[in-house]
Structure 1
Amino acid sequence: MEKKFKIGLLPRVIIAILLGLFLGYYLPALAVRLFLTFNSIFSQFLGFMIPLIIIGLVTPAIAGIGKGAGKLLLVTVVIAYVDTIVAAGLSYGTGTWLFPSMIASTGGSIPHIDKATELAPYFSITIPAMVDVMSSLVFSFIVGLSIAYGGLRTMESLFNEFKTVIEKVIERAIIPLLPLYIFGVFLNMTHNGQARQVLLVFSQIIIVILVLHVLILVYEFCLAGAVARRNPFRMLWTMLPAYLTALGTSSSAATIPVTLKQTEENGVSKEVAGFVVPLCATIHLSGSAMKITACALTICLLTGLPHGLGLFTYFILMLAIIMVAAPGVPGGAIMAALAPLASILGFNDEAQALMIALYIAMDSFGTACNVTGDGAIAVAVDKFFGRKRMGG
């Protein structure tokens, strides 16, 4: 049998955006409303799934982390969490400095649509969430820690199976329908005359994000080099195969074998590398947090939403925790991030869809930043634990 040709998520998203930009000028309002109806139903489904995604993915992640190896685990988790926060903070600081003038140079904001002429879906369905976002996060921590330290094998098995259910829903339902959802968003934006402004702004923002992700890698390896007293740029060069593999796969999990090999070539002991690299593939998301923060700040500036330091600090702290739930599928991090985007920053359905499209368009670069930085963390951790027994 011949192998079926499959188009990846990124090409499908790009095709959806281009079609939405083109057809928005030609399709009649009746046709646009048809896709708005789908988007209305799909966004309700997403809202219903977000708390379940947190429970299904964060609970097993917390349970798994809690059963780790003592001080080695604690140090690795703290370094990964702090680095993720620093990367997001750098993104916010850079954004507040550069983005307002960049947005002003392209027109200042998304054109306002008169409510009287705004297109509406033919009908809508309300699907209330079973529990709110914060309740689901607290529940996940309580149950995850109870499983880890109470040896609750039955509950561990139950939540591992629930995790499988959630991952299948993301992989088989949400991800395949995302291109159609994004098509509907850009179709409506083009029909309303908003798309040009959004694209002008984000074409500049993406350049800033690409520069930021290089700066993050440089400071990560400079710090690791200072701790281990090694050449940071030589270590960064050694990690290049892992970076390129992540660019091609857009998956931290799929890149683990290459990341392990290159980390060991940087002089990290097999014992430490074998513990730190797979763990960081789950908990260290500096590149993803940087991208999400930059895009979220841009949308706040475009739409007039609050974007103060206190609000974004809270958002970043929660984002770094929630993204531990990101499954090993392309776009998984942004699925987990929809919860704080909606509950903390107040993003509506259209803003969330725009975030999804922008994130997936740059997904592989964030993943590459994440996994390459895992090598830097492993070097630092090895300095303190490489010659000690794990589980101290």
Structure 2
Amino acid sequence: MPASLVFALMLPFLLESWAVPGLRVASYTFSLVLKELLILVLPFIVFSFISASIVRIGRGALFFTLVLVVCVFTSNLTAISMGYMVGVWTVPMLSLPLGGVECESHLASALYVSLPTLVTNSQALVMGLVVGLILNLGHHTRLKSLMFWMSDLSFFFLKRLFIPILPLFVLGFAFKLHSDGILHSALQIYGKVFILVIFTQLLWLLVLFLLAGSGSLRCCWQYIKNVFPATLTGLGTISSAASMSVLIVCSEKNTDEPVLIRSIIPTTINIHTVGSAIGLTILTLATMRTFGMALPPFSVFMGFAFYFALAKFSVVAVPGGVILIAGPLLQSLLGFSDDMLGLITAVYMIFDPFGTAINVTGNGAFAILMTRICQRWHIIRWKNDNGGSDNTTSRLQSRR
């Protein structure tokens, strides 16, 4: 799978001289249609995974949710602080251009498809949590069996239907990225900042995976290899939500708690975004430097960082969703003008494919760390058929 995804991302460059425009349009159209279908069924997948996982977790579900929220906030805030410490030291050394960044689209879909959104992912997440908590209050055997059946059906769709056509899904968006010249624009206009952002993001990912591997380079490398297909999916689709299914399958290889994985990743896929936390922070400092503003001291910036980490819980699941919720904070807390906001929005949208890939990969590391916390604090108490509890993985597997 990683090899086929890499080939899908590289194919537009290989076919640049002779690929007919119709092939690019057809491939991009197929990817857009498939993405619309995926977004349509994603709320069902989120609801089924969350509700079934909460039921399996048992009475510790409420405590698990509280711990998860605290860990997500702490991780985001730490990543923002990391971006500030690196940026405030290195950005003054860069020579940055004053002006805007343009990125014109050159590839359009042959078919416009916009399916209605019956239920949003956020609503499905809340409903899954509520239904799971309610079912844990009694012996609703049939309803619990229904939740397990829905979860198994969702997993079958992801594993047997969506994953096999994933390279074709990524290929259309790869043609789009290549036609729009996003990579070329990022390197040409803000190349130094781009390199700084990518280097810092990769460094932070290495720290997360080393923590997940308890300092073992061998475990760290194995974890990264397992998650790599999801990384490429995030890079190609520029969508964490579209990468969620791949990330779940990949992350289950890194832990022995598939139920927790199917609860953690759907919950955090859009709110735990260490890549955008680091990237937007460094871009903020670079934009302030471009417009001749003094970089804020740590005490002032941490006020913005705190509210930014809170605002991440309301991020819209669309490309560039982070900059949409961060814009008002940049203006009210750091004094950004309209021109500054326009510049950082344009540059962020160019960097967004790479930030999304880092977000997805970071969620893979976070899922491992969160699973370790749940195991160490004995948050997991799997219910057996007699209404009791058991903490062993073997009992969980026999129930599944």
TM tier relative to shorter chain = 0.5 to 0.7
Give CA-to-partner distance per residue, 1:101-144, whole Å, 9 cap, x none. 223xx6xx849xxxxxxxxxxxxxxxxxxxxxxxxxxxxxxxx9
Matched, 1:352 2:341: yes
Letter matched to residue 98 of structure 1: T
Q: Which residue of 2 aligns with 1:76?
A: 68
Of 323, 331, 341, the match for 1:342? 331
Q: What is the aligned partner in structure 2 of residue 218 from structure 1?
A: 206
User: Which of 270, 287, 297 is residue 299 of structure 1 equivalent to?
Assistant: 287
Are the equivalent residues in 2 in contact too, given 1:256–1:277 (CA < 8 A)? yes
The yes-or-no answer on 1:385 pairing with 2:377 is: no
Q: What is the distance in 2 between the residues matched to 1:287 and 1:390?
A: 33
Query: Which residue, 86, 92, 98 being the options, matches 2:90?
Result: 98
Give, in angstroms, the shift of residue 223 of structure 1.
1.0
Q: 1:308 to 1:280 in 2, by over 3 A?
A: same
Partner of 2:147: none
Does the 8 Å contact 1:285/1:320 carry over to 2? no
2:160 aligned residue: none
Which residue of structure 2 lines up, in the alignment, with residue 55 of structure 1? none
Aligned partner letter, 1:383: R
**Structure 1 letter corresponding to 2:62:** G
Aligned twin of 2:300: 311
- Take 1:261 and 1:85, find their aligned partners in 2: how far apart are those partners? 27
Q: Is 1:286 the equivalent of 2:274?
A: yes
Q: 2:236 aligns to what SS in structure 1?
A: helix
The Cα of 1:69 is off from its aligned counterpart by: 2.8
Deviation at 1:364, TM superposition (A): 1.3
Q: 1:301 to 1:244 in 2, by over 3 A?
A: same
SS of residue paired to 2:94: helix
CA distance in 1, matches of 2:199, 2:301: 21
Q: CA 1:6–1:79 in 2, change beyond 3 Å: closer, same or farther?
A: farther
* Distance (whole Å) between structure 2 residues aligned to residue 246 and residue 282 of structure 1: 12
**What's the CA shift for 1:279?**
1.1
Matched to 1:243, the amino acid is T
> 1:278 Cα shift?
0.8
Q: CA deviation at 1:224?
A: 1.3
Q: Decide which of 232, 236, 240 is 2:224's aligned counterpart.
A: 236
**Counterpart position of 2:81:** 89
Paired residue type of 1:285: T
Instruction: State the TM-score, normalized to the length of structure 2.
Output: 0.56
The gaps in structure 2 that reach 5 residues or longer are 1-21, 29-49, 55-59, 100-125, 134-185, 384-388, 390-400
SS of corresponding position for 1:82:
helix
- 2 CA distance for matches of 1:199 and 1:377? 30
How many angstroms does 1:390 deviate by? 6.8
Q: Secondary structure at the match of 1:292?
A: helix
Asked whether the equivalents of residues 252 and 261 of structure 2 are also in contact (C-alpha less than 8 Å), the reply is: yes
TM normalised by structure 1 equals: 0.57
Distance in 2 of aligned mates of 1:203 and 1:272: 39
Q: Which amino acid aligns with 1:100?
A: P
Describe the shift of the 1:70–1:309 C-alpha distance in structure 2 as closer, same or farther (beyond 3 A).
same
Structure 2 Cα separation of the partners of residues 268 and 327 of structure 1: 31
TM-aligned CA distance change 1:202 to 1:6, over 3 Å: farther
- Quick check: 1:276 aligned with 2:264? yes
Identity %: 30
1:82-109 Cα shifts (integer Å, max 9, x gaps): 2212222111111111111223xx6xx8
Shift of 1:212: 1.1
1:244-292 CA-partner distances (Å, limit 9, x unpaired): 0000111111111101000001124121001100111122011111111
- Per-residue deviation at 1:372? 1.1
Answer yes or no: is the 8 Å Cα contact 1:325–1:333 preserved in 2. Answer: no
Quick one: structure 1 residues 79 and 317, their matched pair in 2 at CA, closer, same or farther if it must change by over 3 Å?
same
- CA change 1:69–1:233 in 2 (3 A) is same
Matched residues in 1 for 2:327 and 2:243: separation? 25
Call closer, same or farther: CA 1:370–1:3 in 2, change over 3 Å: same
Query: In 1, are the aligned partners of 2:209 and 2:223 still within 8 Å (CA)?
Result: yes
Q: CA deviation at 1:330?
A: 0.8
In structure 2, C-alpha distance between the alignment counterparts of 1:229 and 1:355, rounded to whole Å = 36
What residue is the counterpart of 1:263 in the other structure? 251
Is the 2:210–2:216 Cα contact (8 Å) retained in structure 1?
A: no
Query: Cα deviations across residues 141-190 of structure 1 (Å, max 9, x unaligned)?
Result: xxx9xxx8xx9xxxxxxxxxxxxxxxxxxxxxxxxxxxxxxxxxxxxxxx
The equivalent residue for 1:114 is none
Which one-letter code corresponds to 2:85 in the other structure? G
Over the aligned positions, Cα root-mean-square deviation in angstroms equals 3.6
- Distance in 1 (CA, whole Å) between partners of 2:338 and 2:257 is 47
**CA distance, structure 2, for counterparts of residue 385 and residue 256 of structure 1:** 21
Distance 2:27 2:191 in 1: 24
Per the TM alignment, residue 199 of structure 1 is displaced from its structure 2 partner at its CA by 9.2
CA contact (8 A) 2:197 2:279 kept: yes
